[in-house]
């Protein structure tokens, strides 16, 4: 602080330093102007997203003009849907999991423009307004969360997992890759949900809630192609 407040006085006592300072400041602004001029010819290459839409929880939404916006940022920053969480922002925790056309997707790793014309479902859109999805109720009953940070991702991921089972998608622990019926065994559940990390360690409740919700269709028959 002292050095900064002494600087103007020092400059006024030293004309050479003052002149140098003036030149440096001028160069700084010249460089700023030059680089912004360089950028301008490229701005027309950035396409607008007018009339390109994505469906979020049943409602059409216009995609942002900036093609670099991730699906997660579109949800949280643009639409203020704060269910999907930004945990690691690099695909390692699963907190940002949402469903795209029923399949689970890590929204932090996806660009919003990739999903033009697709249907995105977040935890807010899983159940009709004012109601809870059966899996949400089971999470409450089984203490499937503590801080709740990972919970929206866990719930969307579990719903997506069931979709995968119905599609006959095998996992690393599926013994028979040709089977028509995949059971939601303890191992299958743990393997398929392993991308969703819970820092509170509420795994027992999470597994119990998912098992109870989907136990009625414990064995999933492959959907016809
Ligand atoms: S925030 Fe997307 S995987 Fe962690
Ligand atoms: S409930 Fe806290 S991170 Fe899972």
Tell the residue nearest (CA) to atom 3 of ligand 1: 91
Task: Tell me the mean pLDDT in the region 32-51.
Answer: 51
Structure confidence at residue 38 as a pLDDT band (50, 70, 90): very low
CA–CA gap between residue 13 and residue 17 (Å, rounded): 9
- 153-187 per-position pLDDT tens digit: 999 999 999 999 988 999 999 988 888 788 899 99
Report how far ligand 2's centroid is from the alpha carbon of 97 (Å). 14
- Would you say the CATH fold of 134-221 matches that of 53-125? no
pTM of the model as a whole: 0.76
Which range among 11-20, 31-40, 187-196 shows the weakest confidence by mean pLDDT? Answer: 31-40
Q: How far is CA 172 from the centre of its chain?
A: 24
Contact between 65 and 46 (Cβ < 8 Å): yes
Please check whether the domain covering 53-125 is classified as CATH 3.40.50.150. Answer: no
**Pocket, ligand 1, Cβ cutoff 6 A:** 86-89, 91-96, 106, 108
Q: Which atom of ligand 1 is found nearest the CA of 93?
A: 4
Residue 117 has pLDDT above 90, yes or no: yes
Task: Please identify, in words, the CATH class of the domain defined by 134-221.
Answer: mainly alpha
- Residue 76 CA to ligand 1 center (angstroms) comes to 13
Mean pLDDT of the chain: 84
The pLDDT score that the predictor gives to residue 219 is: 59
Which sequence spans correspond to the domains of the chain? 2-45, 53-125, 134-221
Ligand 2 neighbours by CB, cut-off 6 Å: 145-151, 198-200, 202
Percent of residues, the chain, with pLDDT higher than 90: 64
């Amino acid at each position: 602080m002292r050095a900064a407040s002494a600087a103007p006085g020092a400059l006024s006592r030293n004309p050479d330093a003052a002149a140098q300072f003036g030149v440096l400041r001028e160069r700084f602004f010249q460089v700023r102007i030059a680089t912004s001029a360089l950028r301008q010819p490229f701005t027309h290459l950035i396409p607008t997203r007018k009339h390109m839409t994505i469906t979020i929880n049943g409602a059409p939404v216009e995609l942002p003009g900036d093609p670099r916006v991730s699906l997660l940022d579109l949800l949280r920053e643009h639409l203020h849907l704060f269910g999907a969480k930004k945990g690691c922002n690099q695909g390692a925790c699963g907190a940002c999991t949402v469903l795209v056309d029923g399949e689970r997707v890590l929204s932090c790793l996806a660009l919003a423009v990739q999903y033009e014309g697709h249907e995105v479902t977040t935890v807010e859109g899983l159940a009709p307004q004012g109601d809870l999805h059966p899996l949400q109720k089971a999470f409450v009953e089984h203490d499937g969360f503590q801080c709740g940070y990972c919970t929206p991702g866990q719930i969307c991921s579990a719903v997506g997992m069931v979709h995968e089972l119905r599609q006959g998608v095998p996992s690393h622990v599926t013994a028979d890759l040709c089977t028509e019926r995949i059971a939601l065994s303890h191992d299958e559940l743990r393997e398929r949900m392993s991308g969703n990390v819970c820092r509170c360690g509420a795994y027992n409740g999470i597994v119990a809630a998912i098992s109870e919700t989907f136990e009625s269709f414990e064995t999933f028959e492959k959907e016809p192609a």
